[in-house]
């Protein structure tokens, strides 16, 4: 059995294989509510055989959304639509996760396929348009002239409110039936902003030393773990490196991952970057060395992401060699929602166990096409 398709257990949750759909923002919600788009978009990955499907960055407070089109979980009314998605994902044999997020100073930005904030007055009500002044660890704008807004610096009360909001969202996620939650501390969003000296210029207990800059992430993790069921795993997504000489470094992430593990975090989703001025050299599996560094340095399971999925044999080898425990796809999953099923065939597995009964007729089609080709 290829390692990519071996089951994996985190606490009381067993994933059918090591393939993961990484969170991908859809910018298609109104007032935070999931829609039929989200059901179909996410459901196809479960049908396609992935082991874990993680929903997009979901705002724990309204002002924590990247845009007005983001999902939310700041009120109980959001639960039923999410529960419908969870139930479908699970009915197809996959586990369902949700990424809890606060965008910080990168909040209140335009929906990416629009030309900035170009909504007409007629459109604004129909699509739930909102804009607001974001918050951050320090009053530093993410980048000039790129639709970002200078944030208001969070005070102690504001920080306490955000910690409480993450915990409250985790309670709602459990009520919706999710198998796991992932705390978003990557890509230059709020928790990553507190970690990085590029965004955090505070002089109080949340700024300055690495220990102080880690404080908020650890407090959020502790608060979420306290309310999240003990038999369900807790994940954290980190930008392992800012890819900037003055920013957060890989060795910092190793230290943080050790602290997160001690608090009951079960795996780290390893990405990178997120700040203006970063220098990132991309290529196939370019972030895998970051995942391996965290796995080796903190002795914790990791997910690797970033231009994976092009070669299932190479992805399987990454797991077999101990570089990562899970392979996570985002754009690759969009390109091929049935990637696990196709990867199985590439690795010599021909029993079609990941294909739903409704689609197993493809086996007969492939047999006929092979016979024609011969």
Catalytic residues: 189
- Residue 224: exposure state from Cβ atoms within 10 A (0-12, 13-18, ≥19): buried
Residues 205 and 193: their CA atoms lie apart, in Å, by 15
CA dihedral 107, 304, 21, 75 (to 10 degrees): -40
User: Cβ distance 210 to 255 under 8 Å?
Assistant: yes
Q: Where are the alpha helices (DSSP H) in the chain?
A: 36-47, 79-91, 121-127, 156-175, 190-195, 210-227, 250-262, 288-298, 312-320, 331-335, 339-346, 361-373
User: Cβ distance 98 to 58 under 8 Å?
Assistant: yes
**With b meaning 16 or more CB within 10 Å and e meaning fewer, what string describes 263-286?**
bbbbbbbbbbbbbeebeeeeeebe
Residues 149 and 170: their CA atoms lie apart, in Å, by 28
DSSP state, 1? -
Most distant CA pair in the chain, distance: 72
Helix (H, G, I), strand (E, B) or coil at 150: coil
Q: Which residue has the tokens 């959020």?
A: 220
Closest CA to 275 of 171, 348, 374, 195: 195
What phi and psi, each to the nearest 5 degrees, are found at residue 372?
A: -65, -45
Residues 317 and 300: their CA atoms lie apart, in Å, by 19
């Amino acid at each position: 059995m290829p390692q990519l398709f071996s089951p994996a257990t985190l606490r009381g949750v067993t994933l059918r294989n090591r393939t993961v759909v990484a969170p991908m923002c859809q910018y298609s919600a109104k007032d935070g509510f999931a829609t039929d788009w989200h059901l179909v978009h996410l459901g196809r990955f479960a049908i396609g055989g992935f082991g874990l499907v993680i929903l997009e960055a979901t705002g724990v407070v309204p002002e924590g959304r990247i845009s007005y089109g983001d999902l939310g979980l700041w009120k109980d009314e959001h639960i039923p639509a999410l529960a419908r998605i969870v139930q479908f994902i699970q009915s197809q044999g996959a586990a369902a996760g949700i990424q809890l997020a606060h965008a910080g100073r990168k909040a209140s930005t335009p929906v990416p396929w629009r030309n900035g904030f170009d909504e007409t007055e007629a459109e604004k009500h129909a699509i739930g348009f909102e804009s607001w002044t974001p918050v951050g660890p320090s009053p530093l704008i993410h980048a000039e002239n790129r639709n970002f807004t200078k944030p208001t610096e969070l005070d102690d009360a504001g920080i306490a409110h955000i910690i409480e909001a993450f915990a409250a969202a985790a309670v709602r996620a459990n009520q919706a039936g999710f198998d796991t939650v992932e705390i978003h501390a990557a890509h230059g969003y709020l928790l990553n902003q507190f970690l990085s000296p590029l965004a955090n210029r505070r002089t109080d207990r949340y700024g300055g030393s690495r220990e102080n800059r880690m404080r908020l992430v650890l407090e959020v993790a502790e608060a979420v773990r306290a309310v999240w069921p003990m038999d369900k795993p807790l994940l954290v997504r980190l930008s392992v490196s800012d890819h900037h000489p003055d920013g957060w470094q890989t060795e910092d992430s190793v230290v943080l991952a050790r602290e997160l593990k001690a608090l009951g975090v079960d795996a780290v989703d390893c990405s990178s970057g997120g700040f203006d001025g970063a220098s990132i050299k991309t290529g196939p599996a370019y972030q895998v060395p970051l995942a391996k560094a965290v796995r080796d340095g903190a002795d914790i399971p990791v997910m690797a992401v970033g231009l994976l999925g092009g070669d299932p044999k190479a992805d399987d080898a990454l797991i077999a060699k101990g570089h990562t425990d899970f392979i996570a796809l985002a754009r690759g999953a969009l390109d091929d929602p049935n990637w696990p099923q196709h990867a199985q065939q590439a690795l010599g597995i021909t029993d079609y166990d990941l294909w739903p009964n409704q689609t197993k007729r493809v086996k007969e089609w492939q047999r006929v096409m092979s016979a024609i080709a011969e």
